[in-house]
Structure 1
Amino acid sequence: MLGVSVRTPVQDSMRLARQLGPVFRRKAFGKEVVFVWGARLAAELADEARFAKHVGLGVANLRPVAGDGLFTAYNHEPNWQLAHDILAPGFSREAMAGYHPLMLDAARQLMARWDAEEAAGRAVDVPGDMTKLTLETIARTGFGHDFGSFERVRPHPFVTAMVGTLTHAQRRNVVPPALAPLLMRGAERRNAAHMAYLNRTVDEVVAARRAADASGARGDLLDRMLEVAHPETGERLADRNIRRQVITFLVAGHETTSGALSFALHYLARHPEVRARARQEVDEVWGDAEAPAYEQVAKLRYVRRVLDESLRLWPTAPGFAREARHDTVLGGTHPMRRGAWALVLAVMLHRDPEAWGPRADAFDPDRFAPAAVRSRPPHVFKPFGTGARACIGRQFALHEATLVLALLLRRYDLAPEPGYRLRVAERLTLMPQGLRLRLARRGT
């Protein structure tokens, strides 16, 4: 859109939001977008009786590869409810406890890599290594697949294809439609190749599972997609939709969590008093155990506050769109026709002084202490979206990220690279750019 950087449209919108207030409209190239970030207005948009998820902007640009997967399905498409009902038990407490050992194994691979880097006196590439970790975690727990990320010097081609597809989806939003055929011809070809690679990779994962001995059933997400029928209708997921769901989980299941971990590690490295307090909690909760039991992770309440505060300042999914179910008036003054939509700018909602106080841009995990949470109005913290279409894997991501932060805090002291200033890369999701940390093994 006019005046928006192709590379940083979210951060450009943040600057405009500070100038224009809690609701503003931008129009360019025949597109019009209403941005909302005020806490009161966002609370209205969270009302499921009046508003529903809107699939638009960059999310719609992912439909050629993700189709009617859980994240990109339109509300009227029946496969969303079918897949949700079949897959929801895959995120139950019992299922999560089963994933815990596999999460630990992936984290141990990361720490072996970081041990080697620390011994060699090298800083670690935080976003790169968090991406490897979270890709391996969702691939192994959900689909029984090992990408071998930690044996690679370069990112796995799946990651390259995924980043390319996400970046392309974002950039299509800010290129004039009339000029897109000229300006994006090469980019469209690369994107087609990226999507073909994602499809091919997932087809191979599914084919390998189907070829396996049925006695080796794992009960993971892929088994549920292939074997489980809807409990009421008996309907099953079609092959094409299974591919779309696997792509959705592999991409969404690791891209946002890797960003959340990277931002949290940045803030931990910058705030030694927070780091010390979090580490003390880990030592007290785990005692002498080498690794925690599943139940112990939930007891790391301060570590979780660090994660939540990082997600507040930089929600890796920085916004979500809501559309009116019927004609209505937002905030008593902004009429919306049925089907009209607005983009909730979560990265600014999370900084609204009305909800978060005058120092809303400051990092302070105690914002998520129980009393502080109770004192705030509802619907002001939305890192996973809202309503019926909120992220199905939220508890999976939070357990994984809390576990990993605790393991790293217990093993290493973290220090920022001299002179580093936080820069944020945008590819539909947000990620610290060029973040490297120096490590020192504790007790060595």
Structure 2
Amino acid sequence: MADTRTGGGTAKGFRGAEQGWPELDRIPHPPHRLPLLGDVVGAGRSTPLQDSLRFARRLGPIFRRRVFGKEFVFVWGSGLVADLADETRFAKHVGLGIANLRPVVGDALFTAYNHEPNWQLAHDVLAPGFSREAMAAYHPMMLDAAERLTGHWDRAAADGRTVDVPGDMTKLTLETIARTGFGHDFGSFERSRPHPFVTAMVGTLTHAQRLNTVPAPAAPLLLRRAGRRNLADIAYLNSTVDELVRERRRGTGGNGDLLDRMLETAHPVTGERLSAENVRRQVITFLVAGHETTSGALSFALHYLSRHPDVADRARAEVDRVWGGTAAPAYEQVAKLRYVRRVLDESLRLWPTAPAFAREARADTVLAGEHPMRRGAWALVLAAMLHRDPEVWGADAERFDPDRFDARAVRSRPPHVFKPFGTGARACIGRQFALHEATLVLGLLLRRYELLPDPSYRLTVTERLTLMPRGLRLRPEHRAPAPAGAVPAAPAGDRAGPPAPRGCPVRGGADRPRGPQGTAVRRAP
């Protein structure tokens, strides 16, 4: 069996979860387990996360599933997750679909095993690229990308047309990370179809997800055509990034952006530089992870804003009050949108676009004093269910309510109950970038438009390692600017305290607009 110890795990080490849990039989599993196939009754190939949420509600805060001979332990109870967040006892585990991305990006920041040195090298070299000073330098480019989005939405508003929200958010966030990080313009808003880079990226993410739905020995046969297509997608991603690097080497540089740091910056202690292969892998990682998750977060937030006009009105009033008549808000003004940030956090609570992360034991230990784990045993933390734990979030945890992130409410909750960016040393390095960009964009869109939903739409979620609303369309309608002096003062809760700490039912009634007391309200299409 492949070594599954911390720092030595491989994609072939899935059985380590079962062998590393001496009392596995104490952990419940779904009924009707089938020979060979395992716990597949009531599960679909395209919705593993949402299937796991259903099992979680039935089986409790820790449970297991067997699929094609692989045993997976899932954890979502807040106390159990708090224990797994202890960096002295647990570390990141690269498994499931994440390991399936290693043919794409190898030992890049997101996919490196703990023992691989390139993670620490790249992290130390690139961390200054997400400092406050660097973020302030990226801000004007974020505004430029947002202006291209609003130009597109302005034309739709003038014609009374709807817009493809996930598609447009993907275009926006791809252009933002490409320009701020690598000085490149994909021309996304000038295209009638997604850029081929996006198509290839979605293909690799989808293939990584599908590999978990078939028996490993049969994958080469069952996914032969998909495997060939995946190799072609990887080749396109590589060639795109190689050309981007060649352009930079031929040009005058990117004024200290991420690519400049990758190419020119030595490690502050060892003096080591990133190899050409490492540069390629990190660029692909940032282009994919730097826009895929943020576009999903923005799309979910816009869905909830369109379905909750009372929330949208309150957020819009804050934007009018804080930004006033400023055409282009300054960097410092974005963090002042505290209620808008709560909207974003609440959207990430319900649908964290990176919905799970895995943790493995550094040494033999007992999880929460109850479940023995041997070194290398691992569990998958269901962040999307952790964020719905009724013991933390209340009996109405499925309800959208940004005031859950009022500063007082945040202080009243235990730590480690909100994990949209992972946890610990291996949490998302770009989380501040994503949060600034998303808050800025929501503010700009709220100030400019009323967001009118399709009354017949019910939220459905596409899973491709990350989450995205499927088929979400809104009709943007221009709004008149607020008259001078007409904007009310901020509610006391919006003025008090700092923003929430920054960490890394799908259908039916849960998506209906709700008023302040949770009563259903209607909005004209």
Which category of TM-score, normalised to the shorter sequence, fits these structures? Answer: over 0.9
> Superposed, which structure 2 residues align to 1:361-400 within 5 Å?
361-400=398-437
The reply to whether residue 133 of structure 1 matches residue 159 of structure 2 is no
Structure 2 partner of 1:106: 145
CA deviations on 1:53-108 (whole Å, 9 max, x unpaired) are: 00000000000011110000000000000000000000000000000000000000
Distance 1:300 1:316 in 2: 22
**Greater mean deviation of Cα atoms: 386-395 or 204-213:** 204-213
Structure 1 partner of 2:206: 167
Structure 2 partner of 1:340: 377
Q: What secondary structure, in the 3-state scheme, does the structure 1 residue paired with 2:216 have? A: coil
The reply to whether residue 418 of structure 1 matches residue 485 of structure 2 is no
The reply to whether residue 53 of structure 1 matches residue 53 of structure 2 is no
- Shift, 1:415, TM fit: 1.1
Distance 1:116 1:28, change over 3 A: same
Identity %: 78
2:219 to 160, 176, 180: 180
Distance 1:118 1:70 in 2: 40
Distance 1:124 1:279 in 2: 20
Structure 2 partner of 1:14: 53
CA deviations on 1:140-192 (whole Å, 9 max, x unpaired) are: 00000000000000000000000010010011011112332221011101101
> Superposed, which structure 2 residues align to 1:29-428 within 5 Å?
29-213=68-252, 216-428=253-465
- Shift, 1:227, TM fit: 0.2
- Shift, 1:270, TM fit: 0.2
- Shift, 1:439, TM fit: 1.4
Distance 1:297 1:379 in 2: 25
8 Å contact kept, 2:183–2:254: no
Match of 2:322, as an amino acid? V
- Shift, 1:28, TM fit: 2.4
- Shift, 1:217, TM fit: 4.2
CA deviations on 1:380-421 (whole Å, 9 max, x unpaired) are: 000000000000000000000000000000000011112000
Distance 1:281 1:29 in 2: 51
Distance 2:162 2:222 in 1: 38
Distance 2:410 2:432 in 1: 19
- Shift, 1:218, TM fit: 1.2
Structure 2 partner of 1:440: 477
- Aligned length, in residue pairs: 442
8 Å contact kept, 2:126–2:258: yes
Normalized per residue, which structure has more helix?
Answer: 1
Structure 1 partner of 2:11: none
CA deviations on 1:118-148 (whole Å, 9 max, x unpaired) are: 1111100000000000000000000000000
Structure 1 gap segments, 5+ residues each: none
Q: What secondary structure, in the 3-state scheme, does the structure 2 residue paired with 1:145 have? A: coil
Distance 1:53 1:395, change over 3 A: same
Query: Larger radius of gyration, structure 1 or 2?
Result: 2
8 Å contact kept, 2:182–2:254: no
- Shift, 1:443, TM fit: 1.8
Distance 1:59 1:409 in 2: 35
Distance 1:181 1:195 in 2: 17
The reply to whether residue 24 of structure 1 matches residue 63 of structure 2 is yes
- Shift, 1:205, TM fit: 0.4
- Shift, 1:310, TM fit: 0.1
Structure 2 gap segments, 5+ residues each: 1-37, 482-525
Match of 1:177, as an amino acid? A
Q: 4+ residue stretches of structure 1 with deviation over 2 A?
A: none
Distance 1:227 1:394 in 2: 24
Distance 2:384 2:397 in 1: 11
CA deviations on 1:14-68 (whole Å, 9 max, x unpaired) are: 0000000000011121211000000000000000000000000000000001111
- Shift, 1:316, TM fit: 0.0
Distance 2:445 2:349 in 1: 21
TM-score using structure 2 length: 0.83
TM-score using structure 1 length: 0.99
Distance 2:218 2:322 in 1: 58
Q: What secondary structure, in the 3-state scheme, does the structure 2 residue paired with 1:27 have? A: strand
